[in-house]
Amino acid sequence: MKCDAIVASANSYGWMGGGLDLVYRNEFGFELQWTAQRFITDKYADGYIPVGECLSVPTNSPTIPNVIFAPTMKQPNPIADPCILENVYLSIFRTACHHGYKNIGIPDLGTGIGRVPPETSARFAISAFKSFKEQQ
């Protein structure tokens, strides 16, 4: 799949040791995690990206040149309030628009370690996309 960016629902510290994040780290190398963590510490004084904010990180891959880091949790834990996913999805759309990305790959957010049902995550994705389009 060729796209401008894919989304990693990593935790706020940019650790990529499990789930889909681990797949991305294996595909793009440890450099992706290190770069993400450097971007996070450079931009955020507390050393973590708050849930609901996103960062775009280059991959050095011609097929998928960027990863949008969109944490759904500060640390790996079940998500207590899945309503936060709507803000995360909205932030993804805004970040993609800001960077001029036309094609992005977005997995169901929060459905692994976060334990959010896929149908719930999908509803929030649709709602966020509708809100984003209304704001354009």
Return the structure tokens found at 41: 């510490």
Domain span at 42: 5-135
Residue 72 and residue 79 in contact, taking contact as beta carbons nearer than 8 Å: yes
Residue 106 has pLDDT above 80, yes or no: yes
- DSSP strands (E only) in 70-118: 104-105
Residue 128: half-sphere exposure toward Cβ, Cα within 13 Å: 21
Q: Is the pTM above the cut of 0.85?
A: yes
SS3 state at 7: strand
38-59 tens-digit pLDDT: 999 999 999 999 999 999 999 9
pLDDT at 10: 81
What CATH number should be reported for the domain holding residue 81? 3.40.220.10
- pLDDT score, position 136: 87
Using 50, 70 and 90 to split pLDDT, how confident is the model at 72?
very high
Q: What percent of the chain has pLDDT over 90?
A: 90
**Total of domains in the chain:** 1
Please give the single-letter amino acid code of residue 47. G
